Amino acid sequence: MTPLIKPPRLRRGDTVGLIAPGGYTSEKSIAKARANIESLGLKVREGRYLREVSGNYAGTVAQRLSDLHAMFADPDVTMLWPIRGGSGCISLLQGLDYGLIRRHPKILLGYSDITALHLAILKKTGLVTFHGPVASSTLSDYAREHMLAVLTDPQPSYTIPMALENSRRAVLQPHFGMRTVHGGSATGPLIGGNLSLVAALAGTPYAADFRNGILFLEEVNEAPYRIDRWMTQLDLSTGFDKAAGVMIGICDDCGPEHEDLSLTLDQTFDIHLQPLAVPAVTGYSIGHIRNQFTIPMGVKATLDAERQTVTLLEAAVS
């Protein structure tokens, strides 16, 4: 694994680069993102092509790359915060200037389609990036607390409990609950993200190497048969048995759709998790949900399947 590079910590008054490397955005989302950033005591610098539209993408590949590179190169910008995921980030990977990113390490925060950037940047540069809210997210107190703890306050150890609100929602929406498939604890670097993107990069130079790592996965609005296909792809390409542990996030709206017959979401995951001999839990507070915690990619952590926590074993920022 490439040696880790930790970006400088985020401080009050810092400037955040607001970009759209994937799907197109709107003025309403831009206003919400600006309000989020300013509420944290931070300044906003908008990408030149933030408002561009090309199909369902936020501009052409060249425009989106230009904004990414400009923000990494800008000495006044501490953090790059994509306004949303959507789709299209995978098209940027071959054109990314990984040398520039390595020379100017900065915080990159986001989830969903941003997974493609996280995995490629970690693989090619060793830079710790952060799987967490996008700039236009509705930030709950839980999401804000654990995001700022990881980005602003470097600690040698930090335990992240799961969100109580998700547990309460599980009463009526069982997929918001936690379920330990295999108990025990596991230690290793954190790696993963949105399941469809992690699967899409399998077999490419940007694939997630989760051997001896804690693999985390989440998905939204996908039928069980598609989740099964992507899980099978990862199992065939690397093998879940090579991971130190597996944690599945809250996969909202991923129940059977209109199929006459279908496995449930739990049954689908159990096909892949039950045969393992490593800790495995579903329902962690990550994913396309309001109460999500922020995961530093590549940082060493311990997954405790009994206590249902994740403990970071090193600071994620410098």
| Active site members | 112, 218, 288
Cα(316)–Cα(310) distance, integer angstroms? 14
Cα(289)–Cα(192) distance, integer angstroms? 17
288, two tokens:
């396309």
Angle, nearest 10°, between helix axes 224-237 and 265-273?
Answer: 10
Contact 114, 21 (CB under 8 A): yes
Closest CA to 58 of 22, 18, 95: 22
3-state helix/strand/coil string of 95-137: HCCHHHHHHCCCEEEECHHHHHHHHHHHHHHCECCEECCCCCC
Closest CA to 29 of 20, 42, 41, 40: 20
Contact 276, 210 (CB under 8 A): no
Sign, Cα dihedral of 90, 49, 104, 13: negative
